[in-house]
Amino acid sequence: MSKLLLATTNRGKVREYRHLLGGLPFEFVTPDEMGIEIAVEENYPSYEENARVKATVYAGASHIITLADDSGVEVDALDGEPGVRSARAAGEEASDRDRVECLLSRLKNIPWEKRAARFKCVIAIAIPEGRVDLCQGECQGLIAFEPRGESGFGYDPVFYLPELGKTMAELSLDIKNQISHRGKAAREAYKVLERLAEKVKS
């Protein structure tokens, strides 16, 4: 079975991708499992560029098909911030809790009706020869006044879904993957990986 590198050290992402892409004929591996230690700077102004660079660098280092993503939360009241800086908005060494608290502090006096936000995800799939495919997903919601739920990671505890009456962190993994930005992007990525798997077989 061919290997597919999930180019992330985020265990929450690894768990979700193994669930989302589970039907594919690939053995999913992580940089840690392959002994790859690379720090890829994600300083580009778009999710697409960050994901593309990360996937390309890791595919070159591993010599196998690689999936990388970049994602973030965009809040209307903050003019689309933190956006591509979502993971670094509270500092390079910040925890998920730090990031959530930083976002809530910035929205302290913003009323419910002005807390619209969206999660965005771009997945890049790179082959060692250089080709890259991009897949995108988006999920609309609101930023809650306080964290709720124990599942998920990142900003999930404050990303509220009005149609479900729950935050992303209150959902089961099955339901989250049906509606999330990452789930939507992964369904497109699944099709790309199916085609690549066929090429590897032939």
- Provide the annotated active-site residues: 70
DSSP state, residue 76: G
Q: What's the CA gap between 59 and 56, in Å, rounded?
A: 5
Q: Spell out the residues 6+ positions from residue 68 whose beta carbon is closer than 8 angstroms to its own.
A: 7, 8, 51, 54, 55, 58, 123, 124, 126
The neighbour count for residue 129, using CB atoms within 10 Å, is 8
In total, the chain counts a number of residues equal to 202
The 3-class SS string of 109-134 reads CCCHHHCEEEEEEEEEEECCCCCEEE
Q: What's the CA gap between 115 and 195, in Å, rounded?
A: 40
Cα three-residue angle 48-138-105, rounded to 5 degrees: 95
Q: What's the CA gap between 59 and 126, in Å, rounded?
A: 6
Q: What's the CA gap between 86 and 7, in Å, rounded?
A: 18
